[in-house]
Structure 1
Amino acid sequence: MTSAPRVLIGHGTENDFVVLPDPDGTVWPERRLDAALVRRLCDRRAGLGGDGVLRVVRSVHVPDAPAVLGEDLQACEWFMDHRNADGSTAEMCGNGIRLFLHVLVTEGLLDRGACEAGVLVGTRGGPRRVGATPDGAYWVDMGPARPFGKGEAHVGDRTFAGLAVSMGNPHLACLTEADLASLDLTRAPEFDPELFPDGVNVELINVLEAGRHIRLRVSERGVGETRSCGTGACAAAYAALVDDGRTEGTVVVDVPGGRLSVRVAPGTTVLAGPAVLVSAGVLCAEWLGPQR
């Protein structure tokens, strides 16, 4: 690289990311931002540390954007190129996309006031409308929650029944009365690979007030346990509403990293919560090495 590339660190309810500003797709083209580099960036001891990487890039510079966005390609100027900590690509992240919009605003690429009505952002889960709130937080239309069966998660010697829900990525939302703090999520839960051939995010959920307030822990595929998961919060809220005999309503979701709000309505799920930038800097040539 001819100059030191800029990096940002931020989080949404402590679901944290390494953010790579790359508007024109010249700093981190696909051949450079490979799985090995993503793993190095997310390494919490030898790298910057994070649950994933977000590349802030215009959709026209992302090779697979036309396939995932289709006729919405022209409407989505910006694309959230999201990678899991293990280097794999990810379809969608509710915490990440709020942070993504926050970066667009703070970098001067979008006007915050103009974002209050929402702007379309491309993701590998399809286009998503994201907006700013007057109190400094952000919301995102996550699209509909789509149930697609029932399954089980195995955590140690315990089995938890759950509802399979797609939020653009697969989830298994398991309501339980178990003490969440007592569960060992240092190893990923086991699940039915036939129901989830591409892996699954597993939510373990306590209902605090039926259909209105829940708390959860989540194990994300390709990452492990995280402090928060936006799509997981949506899947968990939907499962809590279904358990209460409803498919619409607003649910407060407490995660280890903070609090989110999820509104489930016909054809849509809206997630709201904070986004915070922690630091900004550059990657040193010593760490990047000559191959970069």
Structure 2
Amino acid sequence: MTASSRVLIGHGTENDFVVLPDPDGSVWPEARLDPALVRRLCDRRAGLGGDGVLRLVRSAHVPDAAAVLGADLDACEWFMDHRNADGSYAEMCGNGIRLFLHALIAEGLLDRAACTAGVLVGTRGGPRRVGTAEGGGYWVDMGPAREFGRGSAEVDGVDFPGIAVSMGNPHLAALTDVDVDTLDLTREPVFDAELFPEGVNVELVNVLQPGAHIRLRVFERGVGETRSCGTGACAAAYAALTHEDRTEGTVVVDVPGGRLSVQIDPRTTVLTGPAVLVSAGSLCPEWLGD
């Protein structure tokens, strides 16, 4: 197994990723990890398969890190270089960043015991603190949920009104009495392009216990329906609390891939959940074309 072909596969509540170890930025530089290669890696038939790609790299080796992190650049040794399955850049992913820290620990690049209080990680949505939790899970300080309007998503010819929420990336969280399991999310929901000029992640949400327990399905921009979405869980939890005229609380979030917990207050949002590495291996030269 050579460094130039080494890969990991993992997931957070079945939101799965191809993970590329590249601490010094020499293995998967921008010129090599182009959108076409990302799409090939994420292809579930001809590649490894995944909702996206995470590159484990130090911030110093990411060309746009300084622009997105600003004064926090020196505080963020590591940068989650996250690409969607279609090859586009992604700002932030709550499931992905838990897996990112888990992979850093598994690779011996960080010590788990030293991560209890959290490690500041750079993302294209800004710096995020992520740490180890009891029972082997991980928590992420996602920053405050920021509401920026109201909109709707059309699914199966039906409009579902919701709240526009930024978690570093855009979301439309729609609470509905329609059983979300009955909805067709094989196609992207229709949304207001003026409100969401760069696209949007759409969450369809059933409330199981007001302000305390929800379940959702999500269509992620650049990916399609996924088994889980960490930022989407946070946006949906915010919408559920807002519906009850509450500004803080802890919401259990059931997604198709498992269960997450979201704690919200006016200052920030903390997401807690598992992260799992499934396999480690190497890409064959005939696939890479090397």
Shorter-chain TM range is: over 0.9
Mapping 1:25-36, distance limit 5 Å: 25-36=25-36
* Alignment partner, residue 96 of structure 1: 96
| Separation of aligned partners in 1, 2:64 and 2:4 | 27
Please state if 1:200 is matched with 2:171.
no
8 Å CA contact 1:4, 1:284 repeated in 2: no
Query: What TM-score does the superposition give when structure 2 sets the normalisation length?
Result: 0.99
Cα separation, partners in 2 of 1:77 and 1:4, compared to 1, 3 Å: closer
Question: 1:133: Cα distance to partner?
Answer: 1.0
Identity of paired residues, percent? 80
2:74 counterpart SS class: coil
Gap regions ≥5 residues in structure 1:
none
| Separation of aligned partners in 2, 1:169 and 1:131 | 21
Mapping 1:1-292, distance limit 5 Å: 4-290=4-290
1:186-218 CA distances to partner (integer Å, 9 max, x unpaired)? 001010000000000000000000000000000
Amino acid of the structure 2 residue aligned with 1:84? N
Question: 1:135: Cα distance to partner?
Answer: 1.2
Query: What TM-score does the superposition give when structure 1 sets the normalisation length?
Result: 0.98
| Separation of aligned partners in 1, 2:63 and 2:99 | 23
8 Å CA contact 2:171, 2:232 repeated in 1: yes
Question: 1:266: Cα distance to partner?
Answer: 2.2
Question: 1:181: Cα distance to partner?
Answer: 1.1
Structure 1 runs of 4+ off > 2 angstroms?
none
Count matched residues: 289
Amino acid of the structure 1 residue aligned with 2:277? L
1:97-153 CA distances to partner (integer Å, 9 max, x unpaired)? 000000010100001011000010000000000000121000000000000000010
8 Å CA contact 2:4, 2:27 repeated in 1: no
| Separation of aligned partners in 1, 2:3 and 2:146 | 45
| Separation of aligned partners in 2, 1:57 and 1:3 | 13
2:38 counterpart SS class: helix
1:135 counterpart SS class: helix
1:31 counterpart SS class: coil
1:95 counterpart SS class: helix
| Separation of aligned partners in 2, 1:198 and 1:3 | 35
| Separation of aligned partners in 1, 2:282 and 2:242 | 46
1:102 counterpart SS class: helix
| Separation of aligned partners in 2, 1:282 and 1:132 | 28
Question: 1:4: Cα distance to partner?
Answer: 4.5
| Separation of aligned partners in 1, 2:197 and 2:250 | 31
Amino acid of the structure 1 residue aligned with 2:230? G
2:120 counterpart SS class: strand
Amino acid of the structure 1 residue aligned with 2:130? V
| Separation of aligned partners in 1, 2:179 and 2:122 | 38
| Separation of aligned partners in 2, 1:201 and 1:278 | 26
| Separation of aligned partners in 2, 1:188 and 1:226 | 12
| Separation of aligned partners in 1, 2:164 and 2:74 | 32
Question: 1:247: Cα distance to partner?
Answer: 1.1
| Separation of aligned partners in 2, 1:266 and 1:160 | 26
Cα separation, partners in 2 of 1:3 and 1:169, compared to 1, 3 Å: closer
Question: 1:265: Cα distance to partner?
Answer: 1.3
2:147 counterpart SS class: strand
| Separation of aligned partners in 2, 1:3 and 1:223 | 28
